[in-house]
Amino acid sequence: MKLPVPDEILPADRLGRVHFVGIGGAGLSGIARIMLTRGIAVSGSDGVDSPALAALRALGATVHVGHAAEHVGDADTLVVSTAVREDNPEYAEAVRRGLRVLPRSAALAAVMAGRRVVAVAGTHGKTTTTSLLTVALQAAGADPTYAIGGDLAATGVNAAEGSGPVFVAEADESDGAFLHYAPYAAIVTNVDADHLDHWGTEEAYRRAFDDFVDTLDPDGFLVCCVDDAGAGALADRHEARGRRVVRVSAAAPGALADVELWSPGEHYLADALAALAAGVGLGYEAADLVRGIASYTGTKRRMELKGEAGGVRVYDSYAHHPTEIAGDLQAARALAGAGRVVVAFQPHLVSRTRIFGAQMGAALGAADEVVVLDVYLAREDADPSVTGALVADAVPLPADRVAFVPAFDDAAAALAARARPGDLVLTLGAGTVTEVGPRVLELLG
């Protein structure tokens, strides 16, 4: 569900009691965590129980599994995930009672109020770059507040309240959320068309990034990873308008030339360089920031090592766009060494698969063996004409090295049957494919 952002966004401490519908998701759980730390009364609900819900309960939130009108209780404000549908009983109850109802973007803007915000945007690499900047600033003594779309491996959480003035936030473009933050500074990792179900055209998608940069503080700055043509063009346009722009490129690693990062891959190096540039732009010492980047151990679901069994290492990553698939397969190839790369990919969203399915398949051709699952529906309804077969049929490998496995429960066995000692197994996708890796390890063990 797409809700309008109110003209006036109140600071978090003026929202009263806040109830989150979809509180277990990566976006809302982080906002709730920050509010709880600030002493704001928080309640929420989600469709299934999860470690995220348990963690929020431990912080003092009242959290329900399942949705019912009475869960709204005496809340003053309702925050709604984009995955929630209009017939949700808690949303309907809030509308009936005339409560303040906010989308995720407005809730995040509310907790940002009064802080020096650095927003990390881009089609790919937002979570990793936000994580790197957070860890770098922590090493430099900044103690920032942060809200990330994934859990930091070092802390196990996706958000935390810091004592310093800086707020580091992952800025999501999928539904236009990033247009409502008015940050001091921003990073744009790349501009590569996606989320056309919302934006309609590639031109509109790219124009949204110009609108995002226009929301920056006039005294702030923009960091762009210019290895990407879209981000490079964005840098040129806004520098010509007088914006302070810092360009980074994996071809010129500078202070990170001798640093061994947590994962290979030029896109990860570019993310680290962007984080370093933003930290320096905020006035922190490069040496301290580099020390933090060197200590970074990753973020869950971003080339995350799940374990090893039978001589096979299993990794998991969130890649769901052709460019992301290509980047993570490049990293996987470097990690595999002399071994083969065996991949399971779960397409995410019917609309994305319809538009980019053939390109996803082409990118998967960089692996040695490929298993394609069916489409993870998320917030969309199924379309019988759009299945994982669209992707599998486009993989440029011999037919015996590609399999479309529509039944989710069969995916782990299909992977385990293809893997042999020395191989690297990689599960890719933004949906439930993350559950497949542990099952593979059990089978191989």
Q: Give binding residues as ranges.
A: 122-128
Of 64, 61, 99, 77, the closest CA to residue 13 belongs to 77
Q: How far is CA 63 from CA 26, 44, 51, 69, in A?
A: 15, 5, 12, 14
- Cα 218 to the center of its chain, rounded Å: 27
Residue type, 73: G
Q: What is the DSSP string of 121-159?
A: E-SS-HHHHHHHHHHHHHHTT---EEE-SS-BTTTS-SE
State how far the Cα of 15 lies from the Cα of 330, in Å rounded to an integer.
46
Name the binding residues for ATP. 122-128
Helix intervals (H) in 43-125: 51-58, 89-97, 104-112
Q: Give the tokens for residue 20.
A: 């989150």
Secondary structure of residue 254 in the 3-state scheme: helix
Any residues with CB less than 8 A from the CB of 43 and at least 6 apart, and which?
Answer: 17, 18, 19, 20, 61, 62, 63, 64, 71, 73, 75
Q: How far is CA 230 from CA 74, 188, 202, in A?
A: 47, 10, 11
Q: How far is CA 258 from CA 90, 265, 292, 404, in A?
A: 53, 15, 14, 42
Burial of 203 (0-12, 13-18, 19+ CB in 10 A): exposed
Q: Give the tokens for residue 240.
A: 């010509």
State how far the Cα of 113 lies from the Cα of 321, in Å rounded to an integer.
33
Any residues with CB less than 8 A from the CB of 334 and at least 6 apart, and which?
Answer: 264, 265
State how far the Cα of 405 lies from the Cα of 428, in Å rounded to an integer.
14
- Provide the β-strand partners of residue 121: 188
